[in-house]
Amino acid sequence: MSRLHLAEIGIALTLTVAALLFAALTVWAAEASGVAVADVWVRPTIGQGRATAAYMTIVNKGDEDDVLVAVRSAEAKSVELHQTTMKADGIMQMREAKGGFPIAVDATLKLAPGGMHLMIMGLDEALADGGQFKLILEFANTGPIEIIVPVRANAPAGSGAGDSHH
């Protein structure tokens, strides 16, 4: 084999290794940055009511703490971040989490009936079981994420959320 040929093989190998390394780094970056959203669902509206609650599990897979600061939808007037708490007299109370929902690195934020949830108000149309709905989650570091939310009466299996009432 000529020296020129060997040089060519050497360059080809170097390029292949560089390409593999680049591919590996790209995959790593996609997995290691930002938040992952799973087990998303929203309750159907009742009668003439145009308010409902949405639930989901959010995992911070990034290397920075993050905060879910706001949520919006083109199909509703407003979406608020709510926290349900039990008062001393046993009455459930909801209040807006003004500072958003913080999610530390590697932490899991569970929005579930009886706890934290997204309060959707002023929907343009009723939400029926089996339908879907679009929400945009605004994170302080990750930025906006658009998600499709299935409309269903109960939590999806495996989300770990019981069917207690909002």
Cβ nearer to Cu ion, comparing 55 with 139? 55
How near is the Cβ of 119 to Cu ion at its closest, in Å? 4
Phi then psi for residue 149, to 5 deg, are -115, 115
Binding site for Cu ion (CB under 5 A): 82, 94, 119
- Quickly list DSSP for 79-119: EEEEEEEE-TTS-EEEEE-TT-EEE-TT-EEEE-TTSEEEE
How near is the Cβ of 55 to Cu ion at its closest, in Å? 11
Cβ nearer to Cu ion, comparing 76 with 142? 76
Distances (CA, A) of 71 to 65, 85, 115, 139, 147: 18, 21, 17, 9, 11
Cβ nearer to Cu ion, comparing 42 with 119? 119
Residue 34's SS3 state is coil
Cβ nearer to Cu ion, comparing 61 with 152? 152
Q: Which two tokens stand for residue 91?
A: 């009455």
Cβ nearer to Cu ion, comparing 67 with 111? 111
Q: Which residue has the tokens 């009466």?
A: 153
Phi then psi for residue 107, to 5 deg, are -85, 155
How near is the Cβ of 58 to Cu ion at its closest, in Å? 17
Q: Which two tokens stand for residue 36?
A: 């992952």
Amino acid of residue 147: I
